[in-house]
Structure 1
């Protein structure tokens, strides 16, 4: 079976990456020097390009091994794999440029190198995507299974079993449960795999059944059994995965940290706490906002003229909002209401047929054109293009007492659009549901996730039926 030949599969992955990279090299060479599609003046022989292409191909494999690109990724999403592709290809490309500089190979076409690396990223990512989809399909059909046994038939073990049944693409099959209190739990397992023994029968079970992973789903009261369980699993060469009895209070992606030599569970893993992720997101925000301001400048001029012609007062409306690290800032919008006292705008919700709106302001709100000045907030660093929507301090002080985990949204910069908004939670919608989506975004942020949210925002249009 496939699961028993992981080393062989890893070698196949390496050979496939070598083959794909060499094919891409030949294609890039043809595009640059043979196709007549691009201007060229080649003073370097083909064998020199072949040498460096081969070096690059093997380098990507070696660096991929070092960066754990070839480890099993059954439980990882494709976005994780794509970021690994970028990481491997980027490091390999920088290494190639360094070698070319070191050996003074200055006549190799830089345009060819750019075509080569860009095509390589696209092709490797595409074939990996197709492969992941194929493996997912095979697992849904019952192939490439991994077999597990669950220790503990209580609520934690049953919850884990239910989740596995709802995710067949992961390719896991439960052999059964081990539990010391069989009579108490047996009636609860009429629709589940049976309890096949007691905890002290784990070793015999591992010797008898083709188990790949042992899932420990025991209550805290059984803590003293953990050491023996792990010892038995390691003796049999089986992986041990522990579900904390308090898993329901942990986030979707907790991780272990180390403090003073002691492992700790970090209950809120925020990917944007990492410097490289923050820098990547910030540079994207700046570039995207500059582009958005340039592209929408005619629209903004139209809005400015419309506001001036339809109501007296300033064009821009600024309002205090709470952002990153609970610090306040002034968020800018095109004014859509008559000029009011600041206390009124800071402490009152807009309602349907709100008498404070101007006619032109209603149009701005429905089309979200009033939000365009927030791209300047992004440039100033107060906001991001994508993130949880910021709220007024007056309402933040109310919500933090009424809605659990509300303040978690302030661990990252607020955004012009967000995961909640692309799922229809805009305007007069549930604050509780918005927070659930905001926390999911915070815990699962990737650069591709941001692109997906922007794409969905544009695809669904900017018309907001809930905007008053």
Structure 2
């Protein structure tokens, strides 16, 4: 099948299921609306600040503060999706507002840091804080309106029919009925002979085929008919053994591939996450390096012979081995003395821990019991 044949798994992520496209459209629209409301919040905050005067504080023309919104908007655009603000718009209202509150709180911390680095003397704190308050009120209010009037349910209706094994087909049909908010209308559960007649009559937008592996060949004609009529055909692939892996359909040089993955596959978000990790780690090193880390390194070096950093092989993503570094909290080569120190072990199994560890150097108690 070159087109119209898609695979659905009840355990796959929401972005790969049959309503994934509608969720993406709604998420993008909500994301754009949030950015528009954030921009409006800035202008409203400036207008609010212009209503009163403070001695010694002059409100400059609005163009002077455009660099604020140039920092705020990209921060919003990147961080709000990372907090899953747009992933499940049908969650209960309190859950949606909770996610939004966490995202906005963290985003404003980032904005405050960026403004303090860019040009703290030229910033207007009242405008910045007013933008925060107004923005939060607007974004929460907009979501309450969406929830009340069910804007995300006002979509073109997609008529869905289900065919196949009685138990799986009826279970899937009930799942469709629970997602009617996305404009899915269930036509019913049909047998193989009935569905051919229904398809030829027209009015079916999507066909869900819930069958076992041995029955796939019996539905070849149904697949071809769906392809001819432009009906999207989806197969419930719940007969492949998997527990937590997501099932996705890929294509490589014309070869269809059914993929099972337990790791994140959204490369765009992973790239943003990586950039944020590097930026925040660099910022933390710049701030805490001279104040905390350098004194800790000197303390370890002066009180115990050996290297300041302890390195150890660890297992990472896909079984790849990497080297972990941390401040040394034991004497040098402490692992070689483990056998003779087993009597001090207070834990069971492979874990070794002792409150009276003889291998701990003088500076180690503070280093070993802290996040350093």
TM-score of the superposition, structure 1-length normalised? 0.40
Higher relative contact order (CA 8 A, sep 6+): 2
